Structure formats: C-alpha cells, structure tokens
C-alpha cells in the first residue's frame, strides 16, 4: 500500500459479493484496519491537510444517528452553512476562507481555504463528565465519552464545562447531546460512520497508540516537504490537551493557530478552578467577618 495508507486486510477477499447476507463480523478490520475490542482506547485522528470540505462525515453522522437537519438556511459565512456543533449536529466541517490570500497571493492547493471536520474530542479527563451531577455522562469500554439519555436531566452543567463548546442541550427533548463516537457501531465491530465515509481519510479511526504513531509520521512527512506550520492538537500534554485534560481521543493535525479553527489555545478543566475559587470565597468570608468584628468591637 502507498506510504501512510492502510494495508488491505486479507479478510476483504472473503467478501467479494456486492450483496451480503448480514453484517460482516469485525467489519472495522476491513474498513479501518483495526479490530474493536472492549478495554482498548479508540479515537479519531483528523488530518486537516487532507480535508476537502465535502461534508460526507456530517451527512453520514446524521444518517446513522437519525439526527434531523437544523438551522436550515444560509449563514452568510462562506460555504459553511452548518455553523457549529449542536445537539443535532455532531460533526461540523469548518470551511475557513483566508481572505488575506486573495486575489493576488492565491497559491495552489487549498491555499485559500482551511477545512476541518470538528467533533467531540472525547477528552481523557473529560470536563463534561466531571461536571455531570447524575452520572449520565460516562466513559465507555472503548475509552469514549457518551451521554446516557435516560439518565440526563438536562441541567446543562456539561454544556458550561466543555472547554470546546461541544455539548449542547436540545430545545425539543431538553437533554444534552453530543457525538457518541458511534458507540453502537463500536459495539457491533463497525468503524464510526464519519470515518468510514471520509473519501480522503482525513478522518482516521483506530486505537490511540496506533493513531498517535500515524500522526507523528504524517507530521514528520509534512515538515519534510516544507509545511513547517503543521502541528498536532490534542496529543498527550501537547497543545489542546492542557489544563489537566491529558489528551484528546479525537485529535487534529492543524496548520494554523487553534483560534483559526475555533479551537481554544489552552483548554482547561473547570474542576481545577474549584479549589482556588473555594479558597477565595472562604478568604473573602473570613475578611468580611474580621472587618465586621473590628467595626463592632470599636463601637462597643
């Protein structure tokens, strides 16, 4: 297979027919080169230099998860009429037009556009999960973060806690929604719908250690051919995985600053701010009590 690509599984030769009698066991082995097993960590590596903005991932996600179309209409923001992630949109292809490059400085090959398929990052230390008071958010056996709909009470703490602005409450059912990394598909041995539909393999699905190695190799290749601005966002303790988040199970290869892609430069866990906030509150109470005592003592 070509450099960086996936080798064709020998098992693919077992299924030459167009029509199949049922689901292929461990189908992800054929489509993504990985056998899905409980107890292993899975995620996405999104290489934005390969994204062509086709939105196949958005459509595949909506189709598989039976998510309705929302925000129908034109945003006026270039070709991006999806806008942002929401309760009904779990994949969002950002089309970022670099107007400064036009028209006199337009360079070939995606020079005028940045495209990135955004998704829930499935943080290692997930702030949404830490904030959930009912336990509706949990870590699955595949090391992903999922909202259990029958337990969610719609309090919205997870919405405020997410440093990436991913989780959203639905106005229709009052519950929090976000990407499940196709939990049901993983349980059935299937690759997530978005990664499977990606025509350029900009979205890779796999086990995290293997994805990290693949990302490092791709980064080295890009640096070698002169794309010195390329870097990885969400690798362990790297950019995007700051503030105790650890690492992102859905991480990215970017070529511009995180803010350009509407990603935070240094995301943090709100849980880390509880102790300082509590200390500040207690100190304030103590200071007010001492002042009141001093005023009262002077009067008497």
Partner 1 sequence: MQSLDGVVTLVQEGRFLMQSDAGPYHVFILSHAAAAEPDQLAALQRDQARVRVRFKRGRDTIAMVAHQIERLPGRAASG
Residues that bind partner 1 (CB under 8 A): 64-72, 88, 149-150, 154, 170-175, 177, 184
Nearest residue to 232 via CA among 77, 24, 49 = 49
Minimum distance from residue 184 beta carbon to partner 1 (Å): 8
Minimum distance from residue 148 beta carbon to partner 1 (Å): 9
Choose between 72 and 225: whose C-beta lies nearer to partner 1.
Answer: 72
Nearest residue to 90 via CA among 209, 177, 195 = 177
Choose between 17 and 69: whose C-beta lies nearer to partner 1.
Answer: 69
Choose between 72 and 297: whose C-beta lies nearer to partner 1.
Answer: 72
Choose between 41 and 170: whose C-beta lies nearer to partner 1.
Answer: 170
226: left (phi over 0), alpha (psi -120 to 50) or beta: left
Minimum distance from residue 130 beta carbon to partner 1 (Å): 22
Measured CA to CA, the distance from residue 17 to residue 15 in angstroms comes to 6
Minimum distance from residue 142 beta carbon to partner 1 (Å): 17
Nearest residue to 36 via CA among 49, 22, 25 = 25
The two most distant CA atoms of the chain are separated, in Å, by 96
Choose between 63 and 105: whose C-beta lies nearer to partner 1.
Answer: 63
Choose between 68 and 199: whose C-beta lies nearer to partner 1.
Answer: 68
Minimum distance from residue 136 beta carbon to partner 1 (Å): 12
Omega before residue 103 within 30° of 0, cis:
yes
Minimum distance from residue 132 beta carbon to partner 1 (Å): 16
CB contact at 8 A, 32 and 189: no
Omega before residue 95 within 30° of 0, cis:
no
């Amino acid at each position: 297979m070509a450099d960086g690509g996936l080798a064709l599984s020998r098992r693919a030769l077992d299924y030459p027919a167009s029509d199949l009698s049922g689901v292929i066991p461990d189908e992800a082995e054929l489509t993504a080169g990985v056998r899905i097993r409980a107890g292993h960590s899975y995620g996405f590596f999104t290489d934005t230099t390969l994204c062509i903005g086709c939105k196949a991932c958005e459509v595949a996600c909506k189709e598989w998860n039976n998510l309705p179309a929302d925000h129908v209409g034109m945003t006026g923001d270039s070709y991006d009429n999806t806008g942002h992630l929401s309760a009904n949109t779990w994949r969002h292809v950002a089309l970022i037009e670099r107007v400064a490059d036009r028209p006199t400085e337009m360079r070939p090959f995606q020079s005028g556009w940045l495209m990135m398929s955004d998704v829930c990052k499935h943080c290692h230390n997930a702030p949404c999960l830490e904030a959930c008071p009912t336990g509706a958010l949990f870590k699955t056996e595949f090391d992903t973060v999922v909202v259990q709909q029958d337990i969610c009470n719609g309090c919205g703490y997870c919405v405020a806690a997410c440093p990436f602005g991913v989780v959203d409450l639905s106005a229709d059912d009052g519950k929090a929604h976000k990407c499940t990394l196709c939990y049901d598909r993983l349980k059935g041995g299937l690759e997530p719908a978005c990664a499977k539909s990606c025509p350029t393999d900009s979205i890779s699905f796999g086990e995290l250690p293997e994805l990290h190695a693949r990302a490092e190799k791709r980064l080295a290749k890009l640096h070698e051919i002169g794309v010195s601005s390329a870097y990885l966002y969400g690798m362990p303790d790297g950019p995007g995985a700051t503030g105790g988040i650890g690492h992102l199970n859905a991480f990215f290869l970017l070529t511009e600053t995180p803010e350009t892609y509407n990603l935070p430069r240094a995301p943090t866990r709100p849980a880390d701010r509880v102790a300082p906030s509590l200390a500040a509150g207690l100190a304030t109470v103590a200071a007010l009590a001492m002042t009141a005592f001093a005023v009262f003592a002077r009067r008497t």
